[in-house]
């Protein structure tokens, strides 16, 4: 038997991820982080102590059996690792890329107490990408029930909910307003962080589970939630429509040409392929000097897209300091490497236009941090006499979003004070059988939080429909094929273990 | 939801045509004042088009399109009976409020004649006295006169050159109607922004409620990008989810018109590139 690993015997440094050099990558939309090669993955898998506590599993919003799949990697059983992950998460290639692991699984990793934590996200991505390349699927045995479930919105919350509720045996239809599914994963997150081809591949796995996607369908207007629960015969509905409705600041000059929201900028570029204009018809009109307001992940994406479509200078304008910036540290680091100019503690007061009604400059003032506000962050206050101008021919607002009003306008859903959908602790809305989760309930948050909400809602829907919570099945101690029949653990199916008497032969 | 098959087409002039598209669910859900977003093909852009008509029995919706740029000219060339649209989503926007108005003027200018039709019909069905005022550049561009005659109590046709009806802009028709009827409750106007601005100015002195349907640049049409934001009084609204109908006396039309022009150079480039490729393709074919 192999000697038990200790913190001293494992590789001390985290295996680096091969990356495109900044000066190369700003000329293309290929992924910045190229992913682990086989030898990288094997080396990094050695760093997991397989500790008894497994804090990483609790740190993961969907509870992936992390040490289990890493052990399979170390054994070079990659398909086995894929089965372990997909018992709880059907979208490993997405989550491995976009989860903020530093505040989730990797943030609590035991190794991380002394060394750099195990690169769980990179290993998950390695397995997810291998599964896509090899065409692996992990389709559980699904016992059909008679329930029809509708999912409104095909973003991360809807996808996660759809997967779980389909596994429970329901007939699932996902409705999407855009011409293709994926939500923010498609229109928002650019290809250099999450290629749309990866999202499509993961959606294909959902199709293999029997989930139908109906695009070009604007729920609320084409039909209402009440019609879905009534004449259309759905037993339950999950609403995961995202936040949308971008905020502006209400400063003068916001309607000038060249001023737009990050959602519009990213949608034109990513979903509508504006960056390939005129091969695709959606115009983009990239600026030469771009100023982006805000410092969240969306702002980072908007700035890095601007660089890649030819901006000479990109400035980030944020009214607090780097320490308060909501973007992932890694994203800010990548943006800095690519030459983004960060203007911390800076707030725009006016956008100035030229005679063609196009923006030509942003008038700003410097800020300093005062007392903490209600959110616990120190409130920025203007410094008197600090006004200055930033020359720019494009301004992108990435300061967050508000609730999308369509479902509120067209249904009896109870909304909260800010216009988001009200739910109870189980994510049930005020309409019986209708559940909601993700940004349309919480306001803008992360992909994995939305997925977590989708899964919580699925659990509540199963309880509402009187279905067995099959979550327990695929969370149970995984996945030795001998322990499973039709993909379901024998214990769960109620098989008794029978010990046959030794036959005398 | 449907395969978006084109089941009928008619050409009103060398630039204006209508498409009837099969979409039973949308035909059932559609209400006057709403719009759709269309993508003609996979590489296409998403363009908003106001619903010009819908037939619940036939399960079809009707769009009236003016070939002004790359996408609409391409549609004029490619959208034949039996072909399909790549994407068609809607009905979008808040339906027009067909209120208790007893006497209304429905004004359509140019292409706006088409989307004013469902409103005129809805007012007629609600029992109102409907005065239609339709504006065209010349007689050759006139369409749907019979459809309007069937649902209007009075119809005033205006042409820029006087080749049909009265000579002058629709504002001339509005002035005539107002002087003939002292009890007009509401004016509804759809057309180019400059025309809607003119209508709002024509009614402002009389204090007659005037609703207009705004047509800013849109991408998604579902309220997630803000490309269609418009200034209503001092407030920013998104035409796709807060409109497209707004009080014409509050709309900042100058702002709307400036914002409509913001992609003009790119639009021109797209059209020129397309025409060039058509010419080359045509040349190679013969």
Percent of chain A surpassing pLDDT 70: 92
Q: Which of A98, A7, A106, A123 is nearest to A56 (CA)?
A: A106
Residue A491 has pLDDT above 80, yes or no: no
User: Chain B within 8 Å of A255 (Cβ-Cβ)?
Assistant: yes
Query: In this structure, what token pair is assigned to residue A5?
Result: 């690993």
Query: In this structure, what token pair is assigned to residue A332?
Result: 């800010």
User: Chain A within 8 Å of B44 (Cβ-Cβ)?
Assistant: yes
Environment class of A385 (CB within 10 Å of its CB; exposed 0-12, middle 13-18, buried 19+): exposed
Q: For residues A284-302, give the mean pLDDT.
A: 93
Closest-approach residue (CA) in chain B for A356: B258
Residues β-bridged to residue B213: B245
Per-residue pLDDT at B281: 67
Contact between chains at B231 and A255 (C-beta distance less than 8 A): yes
Nearest to A405 among B71, B87, B241 (CB): B241
User: Chain B within 8 Å of A355 (Cβ-Cβ)?
Assistant: no
Closest-approach residue (CA) in chain B for A268: B219
Contact between chains at A246 and B86 (C-beta distance less than 8 A): no
Q: Is A377 helix (H, G, I), strand (E, B) or coil?
A: coil
Compute the distance between CA of residue B203 and CA of residue B174 in angstroms, rounded to an integer: 8
The bridge status of strand B35-39 relative to strand B87-92 is antiparallel
Q: Which ipTM score applies to this complex?
A: 0.90
Residue A499 has pLDDT above 70, yes or no: no
What Å distances lie between residue B105 and A97, A109, B114, B135, CA to CA?
57, 71, 15, 13
Provide the CA B173 distance to its chain's centre, in angstroms. 19
Q: For residues A185-203, give the mean pLDDT.
A: 93
Percent of chain B surpassing pLDDT 70: 97
CB B159 within 8 A of CB B223: no
User: Chain A within 8 Å of B68 (Cβ-Cβ)?
Assistant: no
Compute the distance between CA of residue A350 and CA of residue A440 in angstroms, rounded to an integer: 30
Closest-approach residue (CA) in chain B for A272: B45
pLDDT tens per residue, range A84-102:
998 888 889 998 998 888 8
User: Chain B within 8 Å of A426 (Cβ-Cβ)?
Assistant: no
Per-residue pLDDT at A484: 59
CB pairs under 8 A between A and B: 135
User: Chain B within 8 Å of A215 (Cβ-Cβ)?
Assistant: yes
Contact between chains at B90 and A282 (C-beta distance less than 8 A): no
What Å distances lie between residue B51 and B26, B95, B132, B194, B244, CA to CA?
10, 11, 18, 21, 12
| Chain A closest-CA separation from residue B106 CA (Å) | 25
Query: In this structure, what token pair is assigned to residue B14?
Result: 């060398």
The bridge status of strand A359-372 relative to strand A378-382 is antiparallel
Angle between helices A120-134 and A78-86 (to 10 degrees): 110
A97: left (phi over 0), alpha (psi -120 to 50) or beta: alpha
Alpha-helix runs per DSSP H in B39-104:
70-78
Per-residue pLDDT at B237: 93
Contact between chains at A281 and B45 (C-beta distance less than 8 A): yes
Query: In this structure, what token pair is assigned to residue A171?
Result: 């007939």
Residue B109 has pLDDT above 70, yes or no: yes
What Å distances lie between residue A164 and A279, A456, B255, CA to CA?
39, 10, 48
Contact between chains at A216 and B91 (C-beta distance less than 8 A): no
Per-residue pLDDT at A505: 45
Q: Which of A259, A248, A243 is nearest to A187 (CA)?
A: A243
Judge if the upstream peptide bond of residue A51 is cis by omega within 30 degrees of 0.
no
Chain B residues 201-260 within an 8 A CB cutoff of chain A:
219-220, 222-227, 229, 231, 236, 238, 241-242, 255, 258-259
Would you tell me how many other CB atoms lie within 10 Å of the CB of residue A477? Answer: 10
Residues β-bridged to residue B61: B21, B54
Environment class of B83 (CB within 10 Å of its CB; exposed 0-12, middle 13-18, buried 19+): middle
Residue that is written with structure tokens 């790119």 in the block: B266
CB A178 within 8 A of CB A241: no
Residue B108 has pLDDT above 80, yes or no: yes
Nearest to A221 among B90, B229, B273 (CB): B90
Beta strands in A373-456 (DSSP E): 378-382, 388-391, 394-397, 434-436
Residue A149 has pLDDT above 90, yes or no: yes
Per-residue pLDDT at B279: 74
Residue A474 has pLDDT above 50, yes or no: no
Q: Which of A230, A152, A127 is nearest to A457 (CA)?
A: A152
- Helix (H) or strand (E) holding A204, with range, is helix A196-208
Closest-approach residue (CA) in chain A for B3: A216
Q: For residues A391-401, give the mean pLDDT.
A: 94
pLDDT tens per residue, range A36-48:
999 999 999 999 9
User: Around A489, how many Cα atoms within 13 Å sit in the side-chain half-sphere?
Assistant: 15
| Chain B closest-CA separation from residue A210 CA (Å) | 17
Confidence band for A486, pLDDT divided at 50, 70 and 90 = low
Confidence band for B248, pLDDT divided at 50, 70 and 90 = very high
Chain A residues close to B224, C-beta within 8 Å: 242, 244-246, 263, 267, 401, 404
| Chain B closest-CA separation from residue A295 CA (Å) | 18
Chain B residues close to A358, C-beta within 8 Å: 262
CB A96 within 8 A of CB A202: no
* Residue A153, φ and ψ in degrees, nearest 5: 105, 130
Average pLDDT, chain A: 88
Per-residue pLDDT at A248: 92
Residue A473 has pLDDT above 50, yes or no: no
Query: In this structure, what token pair is assigned to residue A401?
Result: 């979003």
């Amino acid at each position: 038997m192999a000697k038990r690993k200790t913190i001293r015997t494992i590789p001390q440094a985290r295996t680096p991820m091969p990356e495109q050099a900044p000066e190369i990558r700003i000329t293309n939309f290929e992924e910045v982080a190229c992913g682990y090669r086989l030898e990288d993955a094997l080396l990094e898998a050695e760093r997991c102590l397989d500790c008894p506590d497994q804090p990483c599993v609790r740190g993961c919003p969907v509870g992936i059996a992390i040490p289990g799949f890493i052990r399979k990697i170390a054994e070079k059983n990659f398909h086995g690792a894929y089965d372990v992950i997909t018992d709880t998460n059907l979208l490993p290639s997405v989550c491995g890329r976009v989860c903020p692991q530093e505040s989730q699984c990797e943030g609590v990793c035991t190794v991380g107490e002394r060394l750099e934590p195990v690169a769980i996200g990179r290993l998950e991505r390695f397995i997810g990408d291998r599964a896509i390349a090899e065409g692996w699927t992990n389709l559980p045995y699904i016992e059909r029930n008679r329930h029809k479930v509708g999912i409104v919105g095909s973003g991360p919350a809807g996808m996660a909910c759809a997967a779980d509720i389909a596994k429970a045996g329901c007939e699932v239809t996902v409705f999407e307003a855009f011409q293709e599914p994926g939500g923010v994963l498609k229109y928002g997150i650019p290809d250099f962080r999450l290629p749309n081809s990866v999202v499509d591949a993961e959606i294909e796995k959902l199709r293999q589970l029997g989930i139908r996607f109906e695009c070009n369908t604007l729920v609320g207007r084409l039909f209402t939630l009440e019609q879905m629960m009534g004449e259309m015969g759905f037993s339950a509905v999950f609403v995961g429509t995202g936040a949308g409705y971008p905020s502006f600041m209400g400063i003068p000059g916001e309607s000038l040409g060249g001023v737009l929201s990050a959602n519009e900028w990213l949608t034109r570029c990513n979903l509508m392929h504006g960056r390939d204009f005129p091969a695709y018809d959606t115009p983009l009109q990239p600026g030469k000097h771009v100023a982006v307001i805000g410092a969240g992940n969306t702002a980072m994406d908007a700035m890095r897209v601007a660089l890649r479509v030819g901006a000479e200078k990109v400035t980030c304008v944020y009214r607090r300091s780097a320490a308060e910036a909501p973007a992932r540290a890694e994203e800010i680091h990548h943006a800095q490497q690519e030459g983004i100019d960060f203007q911390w503690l800076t707030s725009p007061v006016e956008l100035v236009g030229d005679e063609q009604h196009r923006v030509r400059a942003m008038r700003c003032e410097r800020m300093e941090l005062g007392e903490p506000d209600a959110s616990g962050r120190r409130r920025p206050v203007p410094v008197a006499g600090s006004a200055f101008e930033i020359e720019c021919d494009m301004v992108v607002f990435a300061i967050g979003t508000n609730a999308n009003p369509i479902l509120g306008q067209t249904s009896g859903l109870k909304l909260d004070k800010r216009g988001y959908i009200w739910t109870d602790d189980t994510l049930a809305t005020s309409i019986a059988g209708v559940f909601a989760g993700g940004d349309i309930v919480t306001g803008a948050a992360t992909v994995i939080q939305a997925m977590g909400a989708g899964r919580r809602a699925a659990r509540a829907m199963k309880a509402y429909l009187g279905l067995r919570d099959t979550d327990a099945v695929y969370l149970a101690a995984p996945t030795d094929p001998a322990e499973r029949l039709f993909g379901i653990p024998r214990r769960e199916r109620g098989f008794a273990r029978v010990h046959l008497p030794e036959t005398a032969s | 939801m449907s395969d978006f098959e084109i089941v009928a087409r008619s050409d009103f002039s060398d630039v204006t045509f209508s498409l009837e598209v099969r979409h039973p669910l949308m035909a059932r859900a559609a209400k006057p004042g709403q719009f759709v977003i269309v993508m003609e093909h996979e590489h296409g852009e998403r363009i908003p088009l106001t619903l010009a008509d819908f037939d619940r029995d036939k399960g079809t919706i009707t769009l009236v399109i003016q070939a002004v740029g790359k996408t609409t000219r391409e549609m004029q060339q490619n959208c034949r009976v039996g072909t399909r649209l790549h994407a068609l989503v809607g009905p979008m926007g808040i339906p027009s409020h067909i209120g208790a108005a007893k006497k209304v003027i429905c004004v359509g200018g140019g292409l706006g004649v088409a989307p004013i039709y469902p409103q005129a019909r809805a007012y007629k069905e609600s029992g109102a006295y409907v005065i239609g005022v339709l504006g065209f550049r010349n007689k050759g561009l006139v369409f749907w006169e019979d459809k309007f005659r069937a649902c209007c109590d009075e119809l005033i046709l205006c042409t820029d050159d006087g080749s049909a009806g009265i000579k002058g802009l629709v504002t001339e028709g509005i002035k005539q109607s107002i002087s003939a009827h002292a009890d007009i409750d509401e004016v509804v106007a759809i057309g180019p922004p400059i025309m809607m601005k003119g209508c709002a100015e024509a009614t402002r002195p009389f204090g007659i409620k005037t609703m207009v349907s705004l047509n800013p640049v849109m991408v998604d049409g579902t309220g997630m990008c803000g490309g269609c934001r418009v200034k209503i009084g001092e407030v920013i609204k998104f035409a796709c989810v807060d409109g497209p109908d707004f009080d014409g006396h509050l709309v900042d039309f100058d702002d709307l018109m400036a914002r409509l022009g913001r992609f003009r150079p790119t639009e021109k480039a797209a059209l020129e590139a397309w025409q060039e490729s058509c010419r080359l393709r045509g040349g190679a074919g013969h």
